[in-house]
Amino acid sequence: MSNRFYHPDLPTEGRFRLDPDESKHLLRVSRREVGDRVEVFNGRGLSVVARVVAGGKNSAELEVEGPPILEAPPDCLIEIGAAAPKGDRFDWLVEKAVELGVARLVPLTTERSVVDPRGSKLDRLRRAIIEASKQSGRSRLMELSPPAALRSFLVAADGVRLVADPRGAAPQSWPRIDRGATARLVVGPEGGLTDAETALAEGLGWTPVRLGPHILRVETAVLAGAAAILARLEAPSALL
């Protein structure tokens, strides 16, 4: 059961109230009572320990106890541009990307895309990001961006740039990824990117990379890619 709660405008001292949804979660779902201590985070890397001082039907008041807690910056800023898979597979992708520490996820529209998540779907997923952050102990929320065209994502990006391709480089041949760097990964839809899209990415400086010996579904490829990036982090060149 979660002992962490979310407040976007979290103070670092004094009393504050949780919004109705978080109050319900604290009082009715988690069954916290006056006097209990919990952790509250603001989604931007800051959290506090707070004591429950009052509770009503849909209102919980807490008081900060002790100094603020700052989450360390990530070892690597990971951004994923991926075609959205169908149904609850996208929900699962978002939840696991949060757990792995992905900083930003951008749903991509490609030539073979069949899902274009917008509006209420994205709002619901942003709420799921908060819940996954509570569970995983993360204090920085993953950014879920509005859908973007593949070309615009490819052109705007810098840092280490990787595009998933079954014909791409094996992990031992990937570009170097230093700690503190930004790494970006593009994952296409079911059926993959077209040859023209892959050629466009290569022409813009992206490196095609292989994520495993078999063809992966979108959500599997995203998580395999993020995990591979984390596994390949190296000390900055200046420290070698």
CATH superfamily of 77-239: SPOUT methyltransferase, trefoil knot domain (3.40.1280.10)
Q: The CATH number of 4-70 is which of 3.40.50.300, 3.60.21.10, 2.40.240.20, 1.20.58.110?
A: 2.40.240.20
Q: What is the pLDDT of residues 133-164, one digit of tens each?
A: 999 999 999 999 999 999 999 998 789 999 99
Q: What is the pLDDT of residues 167-215, one digit of tens each?
A: 999 888 899 999 999 999 999 999 999 999 999 999 999 999 999 899 9
Q: What is the DSSP letter of 171?
A: G
Q: Where are the domains of the chain?
A: 4-70, 77-239
Compute the average pLDDT of residues 23-30.
92
Please say whether the beta carbons of 102 and 142 come within 8 A: yes
Token pair recorded at residue 222: 């995203």
Compute the average pLDDT of residues 104-132.
92
Q: How far apart are CA 108 and CA 4, in angstroms?
A: 32
Amino acid at residue number 237 = S
Beta-strand relationship, 60-70 and 15-17: antiparallel
Q: Taking the model in full, what pTM does it have? A: 0.91
Q: What is the pLDDT of residues 47-80, one digit of tens each?
A: 999 999 999 888 999 999 999 999 999 999 999 9
